[in-house]
Structure 1
Amino acid sequence: MPEKTRHYLTLGDEELISCLEDSDPQAFEVLYDRHGRVAYSLAYRIMGEKQAAEDLVQEAFLKVWRSSGGYRSERGSVRTWILSIVHHRGIDLLRATASRKRTRERYEVSVEKTQPAEAFGEVWKNSQREQIRAALKTLPPEQLKILELAYFSGYTHVEIAEMLDLPLGTVKGRMRLGLKKIRGYFEAREPGVRG
């Protein structure tokens, strides 16, 4: 072991922190060797998983390296300071993870809520179409033809009269009768519904 390295081993934690202010990698290495294991133990208790604990210790020691000037001996030992960094950073990570999880769960719940609603809407529309088709099948062909031309093809009364070579009054009368029969069809299936 080189003499210089042996010298760092004799230094106290506060002296090593002072060396870190000058970006001394050997002082950092000695600090890590002294406190890395206990820092990992705390990180593992917080995170509950090996890789997450290792990442947390790495982040904590990076903070020790970058902000060694923030250490105050009156607040506690260097070990306490390092462990408080691990603890606070671990809590921050857990909160961030919990927040992402809550956001994901809210999204999943909203997706679950919208999908059945959309599915119900589609089923309802299909059901309505089927009922309308069934109602149309009850009409005489001359009324059905006029309603199809007016509502499905978009022709006006006048255009339908010209196409079918019928008087305008006949077209209007057949349309009125057809609509009345369709209305009667739906009212017979849903008593209590009156328009």
Structure 2
Amino acid sequence: MRENAHIGRSPHSPPDLPEVMSRVARGDQEAFTILFEAVSGPVLGLVRTVLRDPAQSEEVAQEVLVEVWRTAARYQSARGSVMTWVLTLAHRRAVDRVRSEQASSDRERRMALLNRAREFDEVVEQVEHRLEREQVRRCVRGLTEVQRQSVTLAYYRGLTYREVAELLSLPLGTVKTRLRDGLIRLRDCLGVTA
């Protein structure tokens, strides 16, 4: 480490972070080492409280510190302390990771629900045999796309109305209305009396 890295402070006093940040913004790697030592613990601690997973926390903390290195010139002392700026970056990055993980989990859950569609083929065959295969198909084809999806998910796949609404990204009331309208159209098409 260069001797002037510690100028103006004793070995045990905290670094002058605004001055260190100014040097980091100019690409001073030794200044970044000082900054890293000062902020890495608080960054990891904050990220861990948001993510809870140690491995992901370390990964996100590392990403934050790389971002600090790359964007140090954007720091504005008038808007807050260096520590506040760095911890704000850390919090945003951790929240982004949580949102990303949640979106990924939601996608996987939707895909699992869609994959359950293959499980209902047997049920479809039984229903079609009982109610004259071609007439049922013709009537189902006569439904609107959303009615057809709703009826298929609710009655052939066995999903609840709420699950159908989540899968189709529609309000629950809309799904109920489309299911009711679709079933009325099917009943009328099939000539079933109420």
Q: TM-score, normalised by structure 2?
A: 0.59
**Equivalent residue number for residue 123 of structure 2:** 120
Determine helix, strand or coil for the equivalent of 2:7: helix
Maintained 8 Å contact 2:44/2:57: yes
Equivalent in 50, 53, 69 of residue 54 of structure 2: 50
- CA pair 97-9 structure 1, distance change in 2 beyond 3 A: farther
RMSD: 2.7
Q: Determine the C-alpha separation between the residues in 2 that align with 1:122 and 1:14.
A: 72
Of 12, 16, 19, the match for 2:20? 16
- For residues 100-144 of structure 1, the C-alpha deviation after alignment (integer angstroms, 9 at most, x for no partner) is 1111111111222x123212234567899xxxxxxxxxxxxxxxx
How far has the Cα of 1:19 moved from its partner?
0.7
User: How much has 1:2 moved relative to structure 2?
Assistant: 5.6
Q: Does the CA-based 8 Å contact 1:9-1:30 persist in structure 2? A: no
SS of the equivalent of 2:27 reads coil
Report the AA paired with residue 66 of structure 1.
Answer: R
Could you say which residue in structure 2 is the equivalent of 1:79? 83
Return the TM-score normalized by structure 1. 0.59
Is residue 26 from structure 1 mapped to residue 27 from structure 2 by the alignment? no
Structure 1's consecutive aligned runs of 4 or more residues displaced over 2 angstroms after TM superposition are 1-11, 121-128
Within-5 A mapping of 1:100-119: 100-112=104-116, 114-119=117-122
Following the alignment from structure 1 to structure 2, what is the Cα–Cα distance between the partners of residues 60 and 24?
18
Unaligned runs of 5+ in 2: 132-191
TM-fit CA distance, 1:22: 1.8
2:42 & 2:89 partners in 1: Cα distance?
13
Aligned residue pairs, count = 130
Q: 1:8 to 1:19 in 2, by over 3 A?
A: farther
State, as a whole percentage, how many aligned pairs show the same letter.
24
Q: Residue 44 of structure 1 contacts residue 50 of structure 1 at CA under 8 Å; is this kept in 2?
A: yes
Cα-to-partner distance string for 1:66-116 (whole Å, 9 max, x where unaligned): 01111111111000000000000111111111111111111111222x123
Is the alpha carbon distance of 1:8 and 1:56 closer, same or farther for their aligned partners in structure 2, counting shifts above 3 Å?
farther
- 1:6 aligned partner: 6
CA distance in 2, matches of 1:18, 1:41: 25
Any conservation in 2 of the 1:14–1:78 contact (CA below 8 Å)? Answer: yes
- Return the letter of the residue paired with 2:47: A
Letter in 2 for 1:61: L
Letter in 1 for 2:25: E
- Using a 3 Å threshold, how does the CA distance of structure 1 residues 123 and 82 change in structure 2: closer, same or farther? same
- Bigger mean CA deviation after superposition, 67-76 or 78-87: 67-76
Distance in 1 between residues matched to 2:59 and 2:9, nearest whole Å: 26
